[in-house]
Structure formats: structure tokens, C-alpha cells
Structure 1
Amino acid sequence: MITRRSLLGGLAAGAATASGIALAGRATGATAPAAGSGRTGRAAAGMPLHLVNNSGAYANSSVWIYIVGNDGTQQVHVTPEGELKPVALADNGPDGFTDYAIPLAAAGNTTLQLPYMSGRIYTALGGKLKFKAVQDGNGKAALAYPAGWVSGDPNYDVLHDCAEFTYNSGGMYCNTTMVDMFSVPLAIKLTGAKEQITGTLKDGARAKIFSDVRAADGFGRLVIDDKRVIAPGHGLDSGLFAKDYFAPAVDEAWSAYAGKDLTVTTDVGTFTGRVSGGKLSFTGPKTISFDKPSTRDVLFCDGTLAAPNDGTLGPVAAVLGAALNRSTLTSQAHQPTTDPAAFYQQRLTNHYARAMHAATQDGKAYGFAFDDVAGFASYIEDGAPKEITLTLTPF
């Protein structure tokens, strides 16, 4: 299965950096003009992207869309006229930032033609976002993305959120995401070989996410007024979340599997692990081992839990990371755990991700980077896509 991680790679981790992102996909040229724009652009192959504002809190005139990402060779953006253009340093205006905003139609829905590319569809409510064009380490033009979890970021006071996608000759792969933060309720409908919807919140769930995270022990400071809830991993860097939060849970798991086997089943077979000498070592299709992960490793699914796209170590790391976030690693000796009733039942758990899953109608969310383990992410794909709709759902 193609996952958000294999297609979008370091998008979430690199979003706040000047180097921008490097994603899959390939260019198809410019796209058709936005509906109602009254302007013309060069036609190109693409798929209709419908933008629907059902927020109930902001009029179309107060909502802006940004489609930014990579066409396989360079960083790009989609213009209000519907053209696919490379990012350029000259796009920075007198204020030092680009204006890549796409306004919604004056009334009703807005339709664009989405070209082959990988990236994000940002929504900004009540004010525009500031994307800065910069030079990356290879001398190419790139974008510094919004980082709503950083108080000094120029977009900190703007209500915004995003969905992620890769659209190429193989199809459309897309998801809503709370991996970095949650602010604006978004839903995706993908129509193709079948119709799929994900990301839709239950009635009143935005407020419930804020209240649930605020009430969870150790997580309360992640709630930033009524603007957003930031992911606990980002809370580490700003002093809003304990750097050793998961340490007792990791110690408990390492102690448990010093005396019994842990089995992890992936597409390539079953790995059997034991803790010895401080390492959790597995035999099976390949011999692999893991040092004790830190809280940062667990929350970012990185460090000792980094998951290379190698088919062996990567999938096992993902399963371990998911089990620690969902607090099932010690209690379930056979992983991955597939029963959601077993998730988030311990005191030391990812209460942020728990709140996100409890809020969605289908129980799926991207609360952390390995939430696709066992199919619990707000991710959908279609090999024969016809159109996609991104909806700002009621607040």
C-alpha cells in the first residue's frame, strides 16, 4: 500500500524550514483558470478540485487557498489563474513574502484544475498567509512554510490548516492531517473508481478537541487560545510539553520484553523480538534492533524509530512507534494492534491523537506520523480519480 509517508516523505517535518519540501510527482504544465476568476490561463491536463466553504464562521471573501508543493524537479505553486508556476525569489514582495493566495469565488463553490504534483492545500481564514521564497542548500528557490506551532512565525496569528496530496499518473493519494497541529476542520471527498470521504468531524467536535486536549494531564498548554492545538512533538521545542513524557512507558515495555517475545508482523513476514543489552532486537526476515526511543523519537516517529522505505526496518519501526503512541506496546505482545478499542487506554498515551480520532465521524485521523499503521489514518487513494473536493466543515 502507498502511504502518506512514502509519498510525502519529510513534508511535515520540513514544513517550517527554509529548504522547503521534496515530494513525488511530475509536472504537466499549467492548469485552467479558477472558476469565476474572469482571467485566462493555459489549459493543461488536470483534475477538478472543488473548494467548498461550509465553515459557517467565515464568508468566502475571508478565505484564501494556497496550493504549494513540488512537481518532481522543483518547488511550485498554483496561481489564481490556475497556472502551475515554479517558486521564484522574485515572487517576494516589498514585505519580503510571496502572495500565492487563491481567493474563493464570491459565492458558492470554487473549482480549479489540479495538476500533477505533490504538496499541500492550505486554507487561511480571516487573513492571508505569508510564504517566503528562499534559496535552499542546493541554490534552488524554495518556500518557508507556515509553522503555526512557533510563536514567532509570521503566520502564528492567522487561522490556517492544510490537507496533503500526491497526484500523478498512478492516481490520487491524499489526506487531512493533524500531525503538526489542528485548527480548521477539513474533509476530503475523492471520486473515482468509488467515492470516498475522510476527515469529517462530528458535530461540535472542533470545540471538543480543544477541551479534551486541554483536560489531558500534561497536554493542556498545547491549546493556543481558540486558534489551534499544536502537536505534542512541537510542544517539546517550545517548552509546552514534557521532554520525558513517554520515558516510563518505554521503560515498562523494555522491561516486559526482556522476559518474553514481542512479535511484529509486516508484509514481508513476522519478526520476533527480545530486549537484551538495552536493545530490542528482532530476528525474522532480517535481523534488526532498536535502542530505547526518547519521547521525541516517539512523537516525531524519528530518531531510533525513523522508518526508512526499505521494506524491513521501516515497517517494524512504524509499528513500534504506533504502539507507543497508542499505548498498546506493553499490553499487546503481538503487533500491530488492530482493535481501536485497545488504543489510548493508558495514562501515558498520546492524548492529542486520542482526541483527534474521537472527533472524526469515521474514527480516522492523522494524529501522528505512523497513524497509517493498521489503517487508522484519514488517508484515501484512488487509481482512477475523477475529481476531489476539499470542504471547510462547520466549526
Structure 2
Amino acid sequence: MISRRTLLRTAAATAVAAPAAGLIVNQAGAGTTGRRAKAGMPLTIVNKTGEYENKSIYVYIVGNDGTNQVRVTPEGELKPVAVSDNGGDGFTDYAIPLAGGGDTTIQLPHMSGRIYVALGDKLKIKAVEDGDGKAALAYPAGWVEGDPNHGVMHDCAEFTFKPEGMYCNTTMVDMFSVPLAIQLKGAKDQTTGALKDGARAKVFEAVKGAQGFDKLVIDDKRVIAPGHGIGAGLFAEDYFAPYIDEVWSTYEGKDLTVTTNAGKFTGKVSGGKLAFTGPGEVSFDKPSTKDVLFCDGTLAAPNDGVTGPVAAILGAGFNRTTLAAHASQPTDDPGGFYQGDLTHHYAKAMHEATQDGKAYGFAFDDVGGFASYIEDGAPQSITLTLTPF
């Protein structure tokens, strides 16, 4: 799985070479069938918004085939992105329209990427050249007021599909707009991301009502994550400072233990650093609010099996505000998460909204298995449902 921590994090990603294996689009209700793909799995898009008709919903499948950045055409082919795909308005048109009625089924090939849904209007995705002169995509950034997609209702799910299995999740790490649910059938029948009845409105209300978070609600279009709110001047860059200070002060006087797959690490604050011994020596400078919210900077998690897992657990502890109260991490009781007035109210609202209590409210929400993520080693089909508003 290319995890949520690294999947398509940059606006301009890897460029292209030859087209990968083709895929087909079968639009249920429209009676159209394309070429049979050599390999793949059916992806069904279901519109249950109750607010938008099929004709005003557009799907985009973009990502990477393991070597090159690719996209899916309305005709059902997997093609490399190209700067020449930009039209007269300066943007590509990679939209896959939904069927005129009923569900829309797409034969999904092996790839990693995002499934974007846009409601009411098409997305403006620009093909650009990266630092190596290769074609890449500037992905939508709805949390940026100047982004061309700021006015478009849109959201996405993420996936990696390869011979070993399907790994997928809904995400609110950057923003929340369109309620989405994933059903994955294979060795098991699993669903994640589904919201409780009326929960979309409750998310907007909860975030707007939390002190310091109210500016993150952008009309009825979306709620943006507080990390992005800092960059937009909509969220205090020192919000978590009192809690960070509390954590640092707490572990100047006692040990903090963090247990990972590599073993148990024991840490203490000394000389301004939170330093651990155990299977390896790991230390962290005092993080900023931005570091906490993005689980990056001083809390960056390299894929090294030592520093990375410890950083992930610390990041989760900060975001869930469990770190100061529990000297043994990670904690696994969600009833103790997001307590007090100073906490991650955005992530809290996302978890309270879902039927299974799982959500990707921040990048390390998979710690302890609390993310809206599912996988299957023998997948047969996947369904992405735009659930009722």
C-alpha cells in the first residue's frame, strides 16, 4: 500500500512513458461496453447523494502504474498524462461521466491513485512538466482559495490495486466535502467511510462550533483540515503549543514508552529533545503545531522500521491528545481520544460522523487501526458510493 502519508502528496508527481494496459468503462443503464481489459477488477460508482443527478457528476481516475503517471480516458484506456492534453482553457479534460441512469462500472487495472468525484462542474486539472521535464499533474487543492477548483464541489478516495490485493481508503486528511463510502468484496465483504444519517451537516456544525476551527468551514462546500488552514490564515499556527509544552514538561520528569513492531522504546525529554533508547536510538525536536497537524517536520516518519513507527505513534498521540496523559503509547481506547477543549476538533468530528467510528482525519490515523482503510488479498469488486448529503 502506498499509504496516505505519501500517496500523491506533491502537486506535480512522476511523469510518463508508454501507456499501461487498457481498461473498459461499462456504464450501467447506458448500455455501453468497451474493450475487455486484460486484467482488472470492476469498480462501480453509485450516486446516492440525493442532491446531484448523474449527468452533473464526473469521475477522474489518476495516479501511477508503478513507473509512470497515468489517467483513465472516458473510452476506457489507461494513458500517460501529457502536457498536450491541456485544452484551450489551459486544463485537461480527464472526466469520466456517469451513466445516464443507474450505476456506472469501470474495469479498474493494477495501479495506485485517487478516484476523484466532482459534482456540478468538471475539475480543472493541469498537466505540467516536473523538475525533470516530464509530464505530471497539478492535483486539485480545494483548500487553497486561489486554486481553480476551489469553487467546485469535489472529493476523493485513494487506492493501490496490485496482484497481491486491493488497499483503499476514504480520506479527510486534506478536507471533507462529499461523503463517500467504499465497499470491497473478496475474501471478505468490507465497508468503510460510510457516514451516519445526517452526519455531513453535523460535521460542518461541529467544526464551526469549535473554538478556533470555525473559519475552516467554507460555506456548504467543504471543511478544510486545520493544517491547510494555517497556510490560508484560517487557523492559529500556535494552536497546539500549550499541549506540546505540556507533553514536553511531562516527560522531563518521567519516561515515555512507545511500542512498535520493532520492540519497546523508552524516552525522556533532555536538552530540549525527546530521546528514545531501545531497538534503536531515536530523538525528536520539539514539534510545532504545523508538525503535529501534518505529522511531518520534526515528526516525519521515514520508512526505516525504527524512527518511522515511533514518529507515527507520537503523531497520533499528539493529534488525539492522549500523549500527556498516557505514558505508554499507543493507546487503543477511542473513548479517551480528543478529550478537552484543546484538541483536534476536526478529526474528532470526522470520527463521530462515521458508522464504524473510523476516519482518516490526519495522516497517522491508521495507528491502532482507526483509519477508514480496508484491504483484501483476493479482491473481486469495489464500489464507491456517493452517500446522501
Tell me whether the two structures share a fold, i.e. TM-score over 0.5: yes
Q: 1:124 aligns with which of 88, 95, 118?
A: 118
Aligned to 1:297: 291
* TM-superposed deviation, 1:139: 1.3
* TM-superposed deviation, 1:10: 4.4
Aligned to 1:322: 316
Aligned to 1:32: 24
Aligned to 2:226: 232
In 1, the alpha carbon distance for the partners of 2:314 and 2:370 equals 15
Contact between 2:37 and 2:107, CA under 8 Å: does it hold in 1? Answer: no
* TM-superposed deviation, 1:80: 1.1
Provide Cα deviations, 1:290-335, integer angstroms capped at 9, x if missing partner.
0000001000000000001111100000000000000000001100
Do the aligned partners of residues 359 and 27 (structure 1) sit closer, same or farther apart at CA in structure 2, a change above 3 Å counting? farther
1:147-296 equivalences in 2 (<5 Å): 147-296=141-290
* TM-superposed deviation, 1:38: 3.6
* TM-superposed deviation, 1:41: 3.8
Contact between 2:24 and 2:33, CA under 8 Å: does it hold in 1? Answer: no
Aligned to 1:375: 369
Contact between 2:291 and 2:298, CA under 8 Å: does it hold in 1? Answer: yes
In 1, the alpha carbon distance for the partners of 2:70 and 2:61 equals 9
Contact between 1:243 and 1:295, CA under 8 Å: does it hold in 2? Answer: yes
Contact between 2:73 and 2:95, CA under 8 Å: does it hold in 1? Answer: yes
Do the aligned partners of residues 383 and 28 (structure 1) sit closer, same or farther apart at CA in structure 2, a change above 3 Å counting? farther
In 2, the alpha carbon distance for the partners of 1:42 and 1:342 equals 50
Structure 1 unaligned residues grouped into runs of 5+: none
Q: Secondary structure at the match of 2:178?
A: coil
* TM-superposed deviation, 1:62: 0.7
TM (norm. structure 2) is 0.97
Aligned to 2:341: 347
Amino acid at match of 2:3: R
Contact between 1:50 and 1:112, CA under 8 Å: does it hold in 2? Answer: yes
Q: Secondary structure at the match of 1:319?
A: helix
In 1, the alpha carbon distance for the partners of 2:215 and 2:26 equals 40
Amino acid at match of 2:382: I
Contact between 2:20 and 2:79, CA under 8 Å: does it hold in 1? Answer: no
* TM-superposed deviation, 1:42: 5.9
Do the aligned partners of residues 226 and 292 (structure 1) sit closer, same or farther apart at CA in structure 2, a change above 3 Å counting? same
Q: Secondary structure at the match of 1:381?
A: strand
Do the aligned partners of residues 385 and 66 (structure 1) sit closer, same or farther apart at CA in structure 2, a change above 3 Å counting? same
Provide Cα deviations, 1:322-374, integer angstroms capped at 9, x if missing partner.
00000000001100010000000022211000000000000000000000000
Amino acid at match of 1:65: V
Do the aligned partners of residues 21 and 343 (structure 1) sit closer, same or farther apart at CA in structure 2, a change above 3 Å counting? farther
Q: 1:145 aligns with which of 123, 134, 139?
A: 139
Contact between 2:19 and 2:80, CA under 8 Å: does it hold in 1? Answer: no
Contact between 1:37 and 1:80, CA under 8 Å: does it hold in 2? Answer: no
Do the aligned partners of residues 173 and 271 (structure 1) sit closer, same or farther apart at CA in structure 2, a change above 3 Å counting? same
Which stretches of structure 1, 4 residues or more, deviate above 2 A after TM superposition?
2-5, 33-44
Amino acid at match of 1:201: L
* TM-superposed deviation, 1:179: 0.3
Aligned to 1:9: 6
In 2, the alpha carbon distance for the partners of 1:278 and 1:3 equals 33
Amino acid at match of 1:34: N
Contact between 2:177 and 2:223, CA under 8 Å: does it hold in 1? Answer: yes
Structure 2 unaligned residues grouped into runs of 5+: none
Q: Secondary structure at the match of 2:365?
A: coil
